[in-house]
Amino acid sequence: MEPDDRLLRQFVGYNMKRAFIPVQEDVSETLATLGLRVGTFSALAVIMASPGISQTQLSQVLNIKRSGVVLVVDELEGMGAVERMPVESDRRAYALQVTPEGRKLWQRAESAVQAHEAALFADLAPEELRVLRGLLDRAARSGARRRRGEKQ
Amino acid sequence: MEPDDRLLRQFVGYNMKRAFIPVQEDVSETLATLGLRVGTFSALAVIMASPGISQTQLSQVLNIKRSGVVLVVDELEGMGAVERMPVESDRRAYALQVTPEGRKLWQRAESAVQAHEAALFADLAPEELRVLRGLLDRAARSGARRRRGEKQ
DNA sequence: TATTGTTATACTCTATAACTATA
DNA sequence: TATAGTTATAGAGTATAACAATA
């Protein structure tokens, strides 16, 4: 009887984690060559897609705490990729914006991660990857709804 | 323009992480009621399926370091769920075994996690969940092979 | 009173490296 | 010399809680 994880394979969550491990390792290494981490890469993507977003909004989209956003934005700002702009109507808040340098950085990072995902998932057909993304999206929505419902 | 993560949704890895977050939260809470963590639950499952497994083998199956296995086995042993048995042929090693109490604990934990996954993924048909598990398995193998290949 | 951003702190998980006892 | 298990320590990522400025 050779050791294995057969009792764990029945769980969808275990398979998610197992599939995610090599992706996370590979993406982390890829982003590191550009001076990014997964957290700063994700934040940059959201600010790209939502110029003027506040840190609190960013924390909600990324599903992390506001205190964590501070560190991520500090890092992006330190790299010259993002700026904290004042908000006229609310002097407590910042409107986050991607600088021209940040745009270039995003494009390089996006291409690099696309290439690395293509290599990582080379055994799956494009059609299968679409199905996988779709099912993961449905699973994420289902799980999030269930979790929200429980708390109420 | 309301803030969103649309630039991240293109990546399979991001969707994996997003789907995994509610699962991990829910499973952690579920297991906590039984005195287990995800790490001890996973180890218990592997030792259940592979009686006599060594700590080094367990570290390989769970994809963690031997130093981490020590803490997990300490915890399971402290709960009376697992025993470190001497190995006749090698006095450095232990043969890990699940106790009768550990078996009962596993069965309760397995049922609890099955029930919580069913609730979490209620929006997906059983057929879809099978497809999802299958695609995640293929993605995990593809990613792991690619990562191994790179290192050589 | 509530909210935005901030800071300091703590916790969890895991990795690294040095050690021991055996092989 | 190499390996199994152990220990101590450190790092990454994130959470909590208290705070100042502003609403």
A114 and A130 share a domain?
no
Domain count, chain A: 2
**Residue A20 lies inside a defined structural domain of this protein:** no
The domain of B66 spans 18-120
Chain mean pLDDT for chain A: 96
CB B53 within 8 A of CB B95: yes
CB contact under 8 A, A46 and B9: no
A116 and A128 share a domain?
no
The tokens for B16 are 């994996």
The C-alpha atoms of residue A82 and residue B75 are separated, in whole angstroms, by 45
CATH number for position B81: 1.10.10.10
A51 and A114 share a domain?
yes
A126 and A115 share a domain?
no
**Residue B42 lies inside a defined structural domain of this protein:** yes
Nearest CA in chain A to B147: A22
How many Å lie between the alpha carbon of B60 and the closest alpha carbon of chain A?
9
**Residue A36 lies inside a defined structural domain of this protein:** yes
A58 and A132 share a domain?
no
**Residue A93 lies inside a defined structural domain of this protein:** yes
Residues whose CB falls within 7 A of nucleic chain C? A 54-56, 66-67, 69-71, 73-74, 84, 90, 92-94; B 28, 37-39, 63-65, 67-68, 71, 89-92
Print burial letters for B94-123: b (CB count within 10 Å at least 16), e (below 16): bbbebeeebeebbeebbebbeebbeebbee
- The band of A1, judged by pLDDT with boundaries at 50, 70 and 90, is low
**Residue B37 lies inside a defined structural domain of this protein:** yes
Classify B46 as helix, strand or coil.
helix
Q: Is the pLDDT of residue A151 over 60?
A: no
Task: Please tell me the least confidently modeled range out of A23-27, A67-71, A145-149.
Answer: A145-149
- The band of B151, judged by pLDDT with boundaries at 50, 70 and 90, is very low
Task: Please tell me the least confidently modeled range out of A136-150, B50-64, B84-98.
Answer: A136-150
Q: Which of A57, A61, A132 sits opposite B12 (nearest CB)?
A: A132
CB B125 within 8 A of CB A138: no
- Listed as ranges, the nucleotides of chain C within 7 A of a protein C-beta are 3-8, 12-18, 21-23
Each residue of B48-68: pLDDT tens digit?
Answer: 999 999 999 999 999 999 999
pLDDT given at position A152:
43
Classify B97 as helix, strand or coil.
strand
Each residue of B3-36: pLDDT tens digit?
Answer: 899 999 999 999 999 999 999 999 999 999 999 9
**Residue A15 lies inside a defined structural domain of this protein:** no
Each residue of B101-138: pLDDT tens digit?
Answer: 999 999 999 999 999 999 999 999 999 999 999 999 99
